[in-house]
Chains A and B, each alone.
Chain A
Amino acid sequence: MTIRPGRIAVHIALVLYTILALGPIFLILINAFKTRRAIFADPLGLPNAQTLTTIGFDRVFANSDFGLYFFNSLTVTVVSLVLIVLIGAMAAWALTEYRFRGSTILSLYLAIGIMVPIRLGSVSILRMMVELNLVNTLTALILVYVAQGLPLAILILGEFIQQIPKDLRDAARCDGVSEYRIFFSIILPLISPAIATVAVFTMVPVWNDLWFPLILAPGDGKQTITLGVQQFIGQYVTDWNAVLASLTLAIAPVLVLYLLFSRYLVRGLTAGAVK
């Protein structure tokens, strides 16, 4: 077997990219378990017997409502995710399957959402939330994230739905399956790889967002974890142990969700559907 130079180049590129992507995470992880002195003296070193400490974690749990922030973040992320996937898939199905007056205009309108960053509307959004009495609620965040995530979700899911053979829906219609059932029993299972993709793409920015929690829910115990971490970063002193520890804790759930979804990412479920 000969190894083609092209393949080697690709692999080198991938390895470099992996190092680049994982490096910072690795740094956070190792430094979270080191003393402050060790963090600055030898930032790249692994923790050893002298430098190993969990003081950062202790301080995070003692000095902040870490559990609460964590729970807020999780709620916002999971609820947003479920809504984006569900509404997105339904909208994508409707826009690809049914031809109705204005469907093209509606698709275009939704596509614009991909190009216009939602942050441009921050001021109006804040004003609207004030009017609606939603400031300092998780609902405000969820609404914004759903609006932010939907356009791309509809685009990606629509592409996948289009690839599902039309005969499959027709067969179900001959079988007397209602349109809702077709969506839930046939379309949704078949686009699960796409749903996993959408989930990963929407989950990470939502979990990591600092902007909207800062504007819309900065208090009242509705802070998300990214906001919670900020309390250790001061203008004059920064508690690096606590910052790194809380970051480590913040990475964990996204990692778990990612692993959960990535199983489906590559799975080609439609194999064997037709022909």
Chain B
Amino acid sequence: MADVSLHGVAKSFGATEILRDINLSVEDGEFVVFVGPSGCGKSTLLRIIAGLETVSGGEIRIDKKRVNELPPADRKIAMVFQSYALYPHMNVYKNMAFGLKFAKTDKAEADRRVRQAAEILKLTPLLDRKPRELSGGQRQRVAIGRAIVRNPSVFLFDEPLSNLDAALRVNTRLEIAKLHRDLGATMIYVTHDQVEAMTLASKIVVLNQGRIEQVGAPLELYRSPRNLFVAGFIGSPRMNFIKGQVLRAEGSRVTIGFAGTEAALDVRPGSVKPGDPVTVGIRPEHMEAGGTDSTSLRGTIDAVEQLGESSYVYMRLASGDDVIVRAPGETEATPGGTYIAHVPSRALHVFDASGLSVLPDRS
């Protein structure tokens, strides 16, 4: 078991800077998910931790020891690749046992570990098959099995579910969560899918353009996104953003005007002053709450999506802003009609002109 920490890690490919000044600590036994849009440098960061990529600056520590100079095999890590990367000419058993041959594990012990991993992953009947004779889900499990047998302190997953179909993805997600509980090992998991991040992580690291935007527990990020990017990235459908302006301020209490209405709420003292432009954020699922302390938004309905247990109403406000509202399953809203959504002011997020949240820390 081991913790992992990154200190000022930077990476450039030639002249392009891919990662800059990454500082992060992963506790022993934690399940950390790196999430961010495609191309933001998640895989690169994971490969740096694995030792498959060198850094241009900074230090990586595993188990409190600097590992910058160590090859992957000596870092006590195991990696599961998005493409599975199974050796095509070896059967399942050999795929899992291959690495053990070079770790000087004795034969009986290697055999025991492979069979045990196969048992855990329900691969026992498939041990003699070649990768090409397996389904996507089975290949994925072999890839995980190959990681397990190494008995690593840190598991690294690079988008392990993105090649699976939807049903299998949910299943495998649960299996990975269970694996984490059973093994208690540190896991670092990369995905671009915020649902995977929310469901698996004990800590989420949101990356964007080579920088860490925010680190926190899933609900922390959901409740108190630190900036516009995190607010828009976490949550589905994404948070509605409406342009607004600070109208009045009395100490930390400010009144914000947006979409022809206004709301009063507490902000961090000194963060905004009257006249400042702001962006107001409202999650679709936090509207339609009614209540006394609420603001109402009125708009024309563009479209309605019925999902059964709920429906999404797409409406356009008089101010021209487009807003999605989660309404009850049996909504009477129809396209062309008018819809009124209530927003409790404590569900509002407010971001200043540079995109930073001005709300006081709620956590």
A contact residues around B50 at 8 Å (CB): 170, 174
Q: Given A170-B79, A173-B72, A174-B73, are A181 and B102 also a contact pair (CB < 8 Å)?
A: yes
Q: Closest residue to B74 on the A side, CB-wise?
A: A176
Are A272 and B77 also in contact (CB < 8 A) when A173-B71, A176-B103 are? no
Assess whether B83 is interfacial by the CB under 8 Å rule: yes
Query: Which residues of B in the span 42-69 have a Cβ within 8 Å of any Cβ on A?
Result: 47, 50-52
A263 to chain B, nearest CB (A): 15
With A174-B50, A272-B88 as given contacts, are A167 and B133 in contact (CB-CB < 8 Å)? no
Candidates A171, A178, A273, A275; contact of B163 at CB < 8 Å: A275
Contacts of A167 in B (CB 8 A): 81-85
A219 at the interface (CB under 8 A from B): no
Chain A residue numbers with a CB within 8 Å of B235 are none
Contact A186 B87 (CB under 8 A): yes
B126-160 interface mask toward A, CB cutoff 8 Å, 1 = contact, 0 = none?
A: 00001111101001000000100010000000000
A178 to B104, CA, bound (A): 13
Tell me the bound Cα distance from A273 to B98 in angstroms.
15
Interface size of B in residues (CB-CB distance below 8 Å): 34
**Known A-B contacts A167-B81, A274-B84, A275-B83; A175 and B132 likewise in contact (beta carbons under 8 Å):** no
| B residues near A271, Cβ cutoff 8 Å | 88, 132
**Interface range on chain A: under 10, 10 to 19, 20 to 34, or 35 or more?**
20 to 34
Cβ contact of B99, chosen from A170, A176, A190, A272, cutoff 8 A: A176
Most central of A174, A189, A273, A274 by chain B CB within 10 Å = A174
User: Residue B197 at the A interface, CB < 8 A?
Assistant: no
Closest to B163 in A: A275
Q: Does B78 make an interface contact (CB < 8 A)? A: yes
What CA separation (Å) do A172 and B87 show in the bound complex? Answer: 9
Which of A176, A177, A189 sits near B89, CB closer than 8 Å?
Answer: A189
Contact B132 A274 (CB under 8 A): no
A181-B88 Cα distance, complex, nearest whole Å = 16
Verify if B40 is at the interface (C-beta below 8 Å from A). no
Chain A residue with Cβ nearest B79: A174
A168 CB within 8 Å of chain B = yes
Residues in A whose Cβ lies below 8 Å from that of B102: 175-178, 181
Given the interface contacts A190-B88, A190-B89, A269-B89, does A170 sit within 8 Å of B103 by beta carbon?
Answer: no
Contact in complex: A168, B87 (CB < 8 Å): yes
A205 at the interface (CB under 8 A from B): no
**How many angstroms from the CA of A270 to the CA of B132 in the assembled complex?**
9
Q: Given contacts A170-B79, A271-B132, A275-B163, could you give 5 more A-B pairs where the C-beta distance is less than 8 Å?
A: A171-B81, A174-B77, A177-B99, A269-B88, A275-B84
List 8 interface pairs A-B (beta carbons < 8 Å), by A numbering: A167-B84, A174-B73, A175-B99, A177-B73, A272-B134, A273-B83, A275-B83, A275-B163
Q: Which 7 residue pairs of A and B lie closest in terms of their CB atoms, listed nearest first? A: A272-B132, A175-B99, A176-B73, A274-B83, A167-B85, A273-B88, A171-B85
